[in-house]
Structure formats: C-alpha cells, structure tokens
Amino acid sequence: MKAIGSALLDTVKHLNIVRNLPKYFDEEEQRLAVQSVIIGVVVWAVVFCLKTVIHWLLHTILNFAETGPSPWIIFIPLLGGALIVTWLSRINPSILYFRDKKQHIHELNDVEGDGLERAISLYYTSEPSFERALTGQEGVEARWQLPTFSLAIRKFLATLATLGTGGSGGLEGSVTLIGESIAAGLFKPRPLTQDSERHPLLIGRFWNWWYADKTDHLQTAQLSGIAAAVSVLLGTPFAAAFFASEVMYRYRPVIEKLVYALISALVAFFLTDLVTEGHPVPFETEFLYVPPSTLHYYSVLLLLGVCVSLVSQYFRRLRISFEHGFHESQPNIWRRHLLGALVTGLVAIAVHYIVRYFGLAEDGLELVLGPGETVVDLAFAGDLTISIALIALVAKMIATLATITSGGSAGLLVPTLFFGTMVASVLARVFGYEPMMLIVPAMVASLVSIANVPLAAILFAVEAFGSVYMVPALFMMVIGTILAHEQTIYRTQRETYESRQILPGVSVRRVSIPASWATQTLIDIDFRRHFDLNVIGLVECRSDDGRPRMRLGTASSTVLEEGDTLVVLGRDEKLSELESFLEVEYAKKESQEQMTE
C-alpha cells in the first residue's frame, strides 16, 4: 500500500510539468513562436484580401467582356493595368541584380515580374558574406536599407493591376514578396522604435523583446511570411512551409526555421479555412478517384513525366527568348508594358474566336486570362477536350510569358500547375483514365521540373488530394528530378559559390592555382599587370596546422602552392579572361600527365 501511495503522490507531483511547461522553452523560442503567429495573421489578412479582390475583379471584367458588345473591350483593362504597373515600378524603385549563365548582369525591378525572385534576393541580403563586408553592408542593416512595407503595398497594387485586369500568371510569386516584405517590415527600426528609450515601460521594453537583431532571426521571420502567403493560396500549410524552405535553401533545408515557417503557415491556413468555410484548396474536386496500381497506369505516368519535362524545358527556353525580345527591342518601360498587355490580349482574342469558330467552346477568354484556376477545375471535372487542352496549353504559355517578361506583376507557380494539368488532360482522354488520376501526378511533375521543389510537390499532392497519391507523386518526383536536374525558373537561385556579385559588373571569384604557378609569388607572375585584377585573399590548401586557412590581404611575396585558392576581385570581363587562361593551363597539365602515362 505504501508503494501505491507513493506512486500516486509522484503522479500528482509530476503534474506540475503542465504548469511549468513554458519554462521548457527558452525566451528566444517563445519569442520566435509568437512572432510566427503574428506574422501569419498579418500576412494572411493582406494576401487573402488580395486574392479575393483579384478573383472578384477578374470575374467581373471577363463577364462584361463575354456578354458585352465585343470581346475586344478586354484591351481597355489590360492596357490600363499595364500603365498602372509601369507607374508603380517607377516609384522609388530598388533594383536587384542577377547573373545569367553567360555571366551577363541583368536588373530586376522590385515591382515587375515574378516577385519570388526578388524575395530570394532579399532573403539573403542580411546573410554575412565576404562580399558584403567589402561594401560595408552586413547583417540585418543591409535589409533595412531596402523597402519593406512600401514594397509590399506597391507589389499588392501592381499584382491587382496585372491579374485583376486580365493579365496571365499566378498569384504566388507576388504574395511571396509581399509576405517577405511584411515580415521584414514588422522588425524594421522606425522613428517610433528608435525613440523607444523615452518609453522604457511600454514601447521600449516591447521593442527590445521583439526586435530581430540577428540574421537568423530575421530570416526566420522572412521564411514565415513567405510560408504564410503560400499557405493562403494553396491551402496546404505543410507544403507551403517546405516550399518556402526549398526555394530559399534548395538542397539545404533548415529544420529550425522550417518549424516557425510551419507555425505561420498553419495560422494562415486555419484563418482561411474559417473564412472560406472549409474550402482552402484552390482547386475544386467533386470526387476523389483512387489511382490504380497497375503496370499500365505507371507506364502512362512515365510518359506523362517525360511530356511534362519536355514542356518545362521548352517553357524555360521560350522565356529567355521573350525576355530578350521585350527588354532588348523595347528599352522604354512604358512601351514594354503596353506591348506585353497587347500580346496577352491578342492571344486571348485569337483563342476566343478559334474555339467559337470550331464549336469547341462558347468563350475562350478564360482559357488564357487570369491565374487559370477555373480552367484547372474544368480539367478535374473532365470537361476539357484534347483540342481545348492543347490550345489552352500553348496560349497560356505565350500569354503568361508576355505578361511576366514584359514586367507584369505575376508569378509562375500556378501556371506550371496549369501546364501539367493540360498535358494530363490530353493523356487522360487518350488512355481513358479519370482526369484526376493523371492531373495530380502531373502537378507534381510540373513543380519538380519547372520550380524544382520536390518535397513541397509531394506534400502538396498528399495534403490537397489525399495519401492515395503518395506513390504516384513519388514516382513523378523521381522522373522529374532525373529529367530536370538542377534547372529552376527562379534565376536568383543560380548564383554559385565560386562567383558572387558585389556591384553591377564587379564580382569576387575563387580560382584554383595551376601547377605552373606553384612555388612562385604574385610578384613573379606579375599578376596585377597581366590580369588587371586584385587578389584580396588566399585559401591555403595546407597551413601550418595541416588544415585549410584563409588569409586576407595576401602579401605579394607569399609563395603559392598547387591546390591553393586565390580570392580575386575585379570586373567581370577581366575575371572571365582569367578563368579562360586558367582553363588552358589546366588543359596543358592534363595533356602532360597523359603523355607521361
């Protein structure tokens, strides 16, 4: 009896764990969790409002164009929206830069185009790097020098003007930038908070607790804002959190940040679910069709994966051509935006008359204009014929590229789902499957092949359509990953470790020392005169303690060894010349080794 009584007393005593539960989380974890909840609420309110207004405005305009005197009236809102976006893009713009595969520098206006590319660049502005140290911009202060709330407002209005008036594209690219900007803006020091020392009991104490003074804390907030924004659109919080992590880190997901991103995504999801009365997923499906586990079905999935990968490759190449066409032939920003709206409208009008002439559908504007979610719903319902699906695929691809590459504010994620859906609709008709059985795997293949977010793609399929699609999703992920490799539509992800830009046309690169330079010094090589570049560091292959060591401000008399790495600063064209010279040196060494063998 004593033993039983003692056990009961211990049971009651250990119930104190419930009362002391907050003590098991340190102050930083508690703060990050609270911040994630607040970010989720604020971002949800803005993004949900944007989504609702765009859908209402687009439906009103399309209904008026379809029932009005002529479908050509669609050009009025399209051109008007283009003028508004142009005006917004010229209001206190902040320019970001990216480098293409040919090492050419391109500008990214923070309002134009796919906002996710801007969000990626802004996410890394506060991350410590050797290059930013050279320009005197380090830590969270680098992000505060760029717009936050004002950027979110301008992107909000530009997206409304683009998609609400009939532009072709997705919402996710814009809302990710809005989510990032809102999250960063909540922590940006302002006059009221800078004077908080005068109010130590109120604003001062709160701000000292709230302020994100570390890069990790700021990036956690930014990731939470992006995840919350995507969760509002897709209605899949887990996939939204992984999407944010994969886009930012690709093959290096950070679990600590992922947890807080998931908190924001869940808050946004539950708020959306509450307001929409249980319909947070953007696509409507009346029945859930269970995919078969037959060899024939997976053979069709293999064909589907190949087709989607080919479409994605074509889409990426076509995007380069469109960007060159708009930005090179139309340097004037006003004419460029108007031309993009004009091309989008002409494609929509052409599809409208084609489908009517051949009796394929009563109206074709909706096949081209807007995000395209309604057309995806028709595909799930099996209401798309092969002809309509193929026409929609080609027309939507051209219209989306015309809208985005000309500078319209829209994203590419939903269009990638649209492309996969159209391909799946064709194969479903050919092989006699229920459209859902192929559309869901096709969406996974699209996200993997075009956006390169495999984990988020699988989670999206499972969260939105059920665990019965887990195996088909995994199958398509493997196919898409093999065929797509490391391709991605987000160009700001392509900066490599070896080549990072610090100013337009000026970069820092790391180059390996060839065998011909071994045992020589920079003076012996006459490096500065030959290459017109500055050596600002040396990574020694073997230092005194046997480990690699970084030397800053390397002396010209330092003896170089094969395997060491020079950190070189200079103009891009001179750096390219140096790399070409070194490639010749490496080739000489390789040929000599082959002759010796």
DSSP string, 251-305: T---HHHHHHHHHHHHHHHHHHHHHTTS--SSS--SS-PPPP--HHHHHHHHHHH
Integer Cα distance of 358 and 529 in angstroms? 70
Per residue in 388-443, pLDDT tens?
Answer: 999 999 999 999 999 998 989 988 878 888 999 999 999 999 999 999 999 999 99
Per residue in 323-339, pLDDT tens?
Answer: 888 877 777 889 999 99
Decide: pTM greater than 0.85. Answer: no
| Inside any domain, residue 203 | no
Mean pLDDT to the nearest integer, 274-280 = 73
Q: Residue 589: how many CA atoms within 13 Å on its side-chain side?
A: 13
- Lowest-confidence region among 218-227, 460-469, 501-510: 501-510
| Inside any domain, residue 324 | no
pLDDT higher than 60, residue 208: yes
| Inside any domain, residue 544 | yes
pLDDT higher than 70, residue 248: yes
Provide CB contacts within 8 A for 89, sequence distance 6+. Answer: 109, 111, 112, 158, 333, 407
Question: What CATH number did the domain enclosing 507 receive?
Answer: 3.30.70.1450
Integer Cα distance of 266 and 278 in angstroms? 14
- CB 341, CB 70: distance < 8 Å: no
Give the pLDDT of residue 494. 46
- Lowest-confidence region among 40-44, 126-130, 311-315: 126-130
Give the pLDDT of residue 499. 47
| Inside any domain, residue 524 | yes
Per residue in 438-472, pLDDT tens?
Answer: 999 999 998 888 777 888 888 889 888 888 999 99
- Give the closest residue to 168 by CA, choosing from 410, 450, 447, 419: 410
In the chain, the number of structural domains is 1
Integer Cα distance of 360 and 505 in angstroms? 52
Mean pLDDT to the nearest integer, 216-242 = 89
| Inside any domain, residue 72 | no
| Inside any domain, residue 408 | no
pLDDT top residue among 24 and 52: 52
Strands (E), 436-505: 499-503
| Inside any domain, residue 424 | no
* Tokens standing for residue 305: 């994966």
| Inside any domain, residue 549 | yes
Kindly tell me the number of DSSP H helices and DSSP E strands found in the chain: 25, 7
Segments forming the whole domain that contains residue 536 = 500-596
One-letter amino acid of 299: S
Percent of the chain with pLDDT over 70: 80
Q: Is 216 helix (H, G, I), strand (E, B) or coil?
A: helix
Integer Cα distance of 174 and 242 in angstroms? 18
